Amino acid sequence: MSTQLNETHDPSLTSWVDSANGGGSDFPIQNLPFCVFRRRGSSEAYRGGVAIGDQVVDLAALGDAFAGAARTALQLAAREQLNGLMDAGPAAWSALRLALSRFLRSDAPARPDVLIAQADAEYAVPAQIGDYTDFYTSIHHATSVGKLFRPDEPLLPNYKWVPIGYHGRSSTIGVSGRDFRRPRGQTRSSSGNEPQFGASRRLDYELEVGIFVGGGNAQGDSIEAGQAEEHVFGLCLLNDWSARDIQAWEYQPLGPFLSKNFATTISPWIVTLEALAPYRAAWQRDAADPQPLPYLDYPALRAEGAFDIELEVLIETEGMRREGVAPARISQSNFRHSYWSVAQLVAHHTVNGCALRAGDLLGSGTQSGPDAREAGSLLELSAGGKQPLSLPNGEQRVFLEDGDRIVMRGWAARDGRPRIGFGEVAGTVLPAR
């Protein structure tokens, strides 16, 4: 996919939806992220929507508004799940984006009849996720977690060569706002051999970027790194809830399982790669790091392999809610720190002939940055549970308590360009059963 800019990126564009203009919104007309939604509390069918300001464009209400490729793409985008649109490929995505941009511009006729206020909407997971893969792309996260699990060898010898990943659970992926119960499980006993059983006492979040696969590949085929972004529909925010005590006991030798598969939460909005084209960044490597193997290399990698997306995590405890204290930011990071690019993840995933399908979800892994305050999990922020975080109302946290609400936000903004926001992904910990 080219990162060439086109008329939809013009910073001077404004919309007849006033709330999209003026710089305060995550969703100016240059963004146009997709979701699946319906009126809150209704029994309407879910259908595709696009964010503009504080409104959702109801794509199922647009009818015959567009022609040609945009019309075909609109029909796919209006469905209950976006797999068809994702499968349609970059030309279709681009045609629909252009048509939506023109439809929403200030000089086009206002069509408030196709809008629903976001405050009145509820969202669903926007695609049937056939398979969910979670990667481990932050070398800062891998190193600091490695120090806790393996003090003698924090970063394993394969890390700088292999985009480490593993398969996760698609059945428990939910959309922002869907709360979940604290998991129960086996944990290592502090005394003796017999493990303990009970509710996790080291429940954590992980700040990640989600990557929705567009058109896939046939089993046995591979997607070349240079073409890989043509197979990526867009990005979202992802919280990979993790039970560290369950993880520490179960993860050898086959990796995390029950410590992760109880809940994963994503933001409702998928921001397309085209919307993010003005926010590409150089791929970051230390001079001492090895060059990527040829199947992980491609012309655009070094200049613009990364995405400059600011990320932050906020916590709101039950106590803070009760006292009216605003959610407190406990971490900020940036997706540009990722050791592996999105295209490299796709190329690596398929180099062995593994089939990706439209709607598959890849997690980036926890996006910790180089600085300690950029750590993307409590495990790191609390140095393995040893250094409590102090919250504005005087509470402390090492891991999550029941009632804690975690909110993640993301946005791209630089060079005076409009803010391309991801909205938020939020979830609250309910007590164990």
Distances (CA, A) of 238 to 223, 226, 365, 409: 24, 25, 9, 10
- Residue 298 interacting with its own copies (CB under 8 A): no
Q: Which amino acid is at 414?
A: R
> What is the 8-class DSSP label of residue 17?
S
Check residue 24 for interaction with its own copies (CB under 8 A): no
Q: Examine residue 283 and tell whether it contacts its own copies (CB under 8 A).
A: no
Near its own copies in 139-178, by CB under 8 A: 146, 149-150, 156-158, 161-162, 164-172, 174
Of 155 and 413, nearer to its own copies (C-beta) is: 155
Stretch that binds its own copies, among 17-25, 201-209, 232-240, 253-261 (CB under 8 A): 253-261
From the number of C-beta atoms within 10 Å of its C-beta (0-12, 13-18, 19+), residue 387 rates as exposed
Identity of the amino acid at 114: V
The answer to the question of residue 124 lying near its own copies (CB under 8 A) is no
Is residue 137 part of the contact set for its own copies (CB under 8 A)?
no
Catalytic annotation present for 337: no
SS3 (DSSP) at 181: strand
In the complex, least distance from residue 353 CB atom to its own copies, rounded to whole angstroms:
5
Q: Which is nearer to its own copies, 165 or 418 (CB)?
A: 165
Is residue 130 at the binding interface for its own copies, with CB under 8 A as the rule?
yes
The binder of its own copies chosen from 186, 297, 325, 413 (CB under 8 A): 186
Residue 7, Cβ neighbours under 10 Å: how many? Answer: 10
256 is an interface residue for its own copies by CB under 8 A? yes
Q: Is residue 384 part of the contact set for its own copies (CB under 8 A)?
A: no
Which of 49, 44, 15, 30 shows the shortest CA–CA distance to 117? 49
Site string for its own copies, 205-244 (x = CB under 8 A): -----------x--xxxx--------------------x-
Task: Give 159-178 as a DSSP string.
Answer: TTTS--EEE--STTEEETT-
Cβ pair 133, 166 in contact under 8 A: yes
Among positions 124, 351, 383, 413, the unique one binding its own copies when judged by CB under 8 A: 351
Residue 431 found at the interface with its own copies (CB under 8 A): no
CA torsion angle for 323, 177, 240, 169 (degrees, to 10)? 150
Which has the closest alpha carbon to 101: 37, 28, 2? 28
Kindly state whether residue 81 participates in binding its own copies, applying the rule CB under 8 A.
no
- Asked if 192 is part of the footprint of its own copies (rule: CB under 8 A), the reply reads no
Size of the site for its own copies (CB under 8 A): 70
Q: Are 239 and 208 in contact (CB under 8 A)?
A: yes
Strand partners, 326: none
399-to-257, 311, 322, 324 alpha-carbon distances in Å: 19, 20, 20, 22
Nearer to its own copies, 222 or 368 (CB): 222
> Catalytic positions, please?
141
- Which parts of this chain interact with its own copies (CB under 8 A)? 130-131, 133-134, 136, 146, 149-150, 156-158, 161-162, 164-172, 174, 180-181, 183-186, 193-195, 197, 216, 219-222, 243, 246, 249-259, 261-263, 290, 293-295, 348-349, 351-357, 360, 430, 433
